Amino acid sequence: MCAAGRRFGKSYLAAVTLFVEASKNSKIRSDGVEVDLSLEKVYYVAPTFTQGKEILWPLLKEIGRDLIAQSYENNATITLLNGRTIAIKGADRPDSLRGTGLSYVVLDEYAFMKEEVWEQIIRPQLARSEGGALFIGTPDGKNHFYDIWFKASMGLAGDHWKAWTFNSRDNPFLPESEIEEMTKDMSEERMRQELEASFEAGGGIVLTRDMFKKVEGAPYGDYYIACDLAGFEKVEGGRKVKKLDEHAIAVVLNHAGGWCIVDIIHGQWDTRETALRIVKAYRDYRPVKLGIEKGMAANAVMPYLEDEMNRLGTYFLVEPLTHGNQRKTDRITWSMQGRAEKGRISYVDDSDLSGDNKWNKEFLDQCVDFPSQIAHDDLLDAVSYIDQLAEPWYDGPDQIDEWQPQDDIAGY
């Protein structure tokens, strides 16, 4: 799986890979059987045949001029000196993909193909030779391309699946002036998708980056902390199963102008580590209130939380946060969208932080992706819970009733 930005060199990579695979005459399968590949074809599949031929056909003939025995312009097919065949195909004509054995296939711009092209047509034809595939393209939101790329990157698709991401600037032959020309009329979201190969799903349906103002420092106000716990490692059949969601601890300053997100501590931790981070967050910010979402995860962390309070000498009450029978998407939308549209949610710049402590990018990515069902929203959920904790902020003059004693001597 290769997600790459525009002009990275995807076509060149595809062409070289096709010739490398088509030059093999046999292979050893995982069961030890040697498979003759002379009758197995190698395919390059683009969203349309016309697109595939325009992109790759001239490049194939140029790169493989010393390897090609014969080429056929009409059907964009090449026969190599070893008798093997490379063919350009279009995913828009699925019937043209059927009925042949394949040893390798390159699916270019898979995000723009129907999912069944791989699952129902290509994959079964690779079975005999245990053939390989290269999925390559620029992201188009979080669709089936993202789904399979994510599984490969997280090791969920098996050891034989790998995933890489390259942005346009990774191409050393692409001048910076060309990149600037490409991006001058692009929105921030489109630039991240087209050049940085970033998977973004929501397209700003509910929340967009420009709704949130970055500030250098937090204004005057009251701190609140909301914790969204994702659940902890569980054991099935003696085997540990990890949960992919993250714990998120949102530190938000409630002030006259709205909310300022000061920090979002997030990650995949065990129960004790989670408790320690919550106590340290309270110790560092001394919030008016700290809340944790009710549920099994909260019940699991509470004994460890008490231990860490005693160990660090930091004590506080935990406010129970509830979802109020609301769906998560509704809860996030109702608590954040209106405030964000009115410019009442800002965030503190994290450029001075390092490594895993950074959170700005992850937060804004989740905003753009929301409310995609296959995108993470843990950081948003934690911030949304501030709505249950924060008291209305009053920034006017203190109003103190003047006290008049009834008796000058007694004082009352």
The pLDDT tens digits for 368-399 are: 888 776 678 899 999 999 999 998 766 555 55
The encoded tokens of residue 154 equal: 């997280």
Using the predicted structure, report yes or no on whether residue 74 has a pLDDT greater than 50.
yes
Return the beta strands (E) in 242-396 as ranges. Answer: 247-255, 258-267, 289-293, 319-321, 345-348
Q: Whole-number mean pLDDT of the chain? A: 85
Q: Domain 2-192 belongs to what architecture? A: 3-Layer(aba) Sandwich (3.40)
Mean pLDDT for 265-286 is 95
* Multiple choice CATH, 209-389, 3.30.1200.10, 3.40.50.720, 1.10.150.170, 3.30.420.240: 3.30.420.240
Could you tell me how far CA 36 lies from the centroid of its own chain? 41
User: Most confidently modeled of 83-97, 176-190, 268-282?
Assistant: 268-282
pLDDT tens digits along 23-46: 999 989 888 899 888 889 999 999
Q: How far is CA 192 from CA 107, 146, 199, 208, in A?
A: 22, 15, 8, 13
pLDDT tens digits along 317-338: 999 998 766 788 888 988 998 9
Angle (deg, nearest 10), helices 10-22 and 49-63:
70
Q: How far is CA 113 from CA 134, 237, 263, in A?
A: 14, 38, 40
pLDDT tens digits along 89-141: 999 888 788 877 899 999 999 888 888 889 889 999 998 888 999 999 888 77
* Least confident among 37-51, 170-184, 397-411: 397-411
| Cα gap 147→398, rounded to integer Å | 55
- Give Cβ neighbours of residue 171 (< 8 Å, ≥ 6 apart): 7, 8, 9
Q: Output the DSSP codes for 190-251.
A: HHHHHTT-----S-SSS--GGGSEEESS--SSEEEEEEE-----EEETTEEE---S-EEEEE
At 235, the pLDDT band (50, 70, 90 cuts) reads very low
Cα three-residue angle 275-366-146, rounded to 5 degrees = 110
pLDDT at 305: 96
pLDDT tens digits along 152-161: 888 887 888 8
- Nearest Cα neighbor of 128 from 264, 60, 56, 37 is 37
How is the chain split into domains, by residue range? Answer: 2-192, 209-389
| Cα gap 176→183, rounded to integer Å | 11
Tell me the pTM. Answer: 0.55
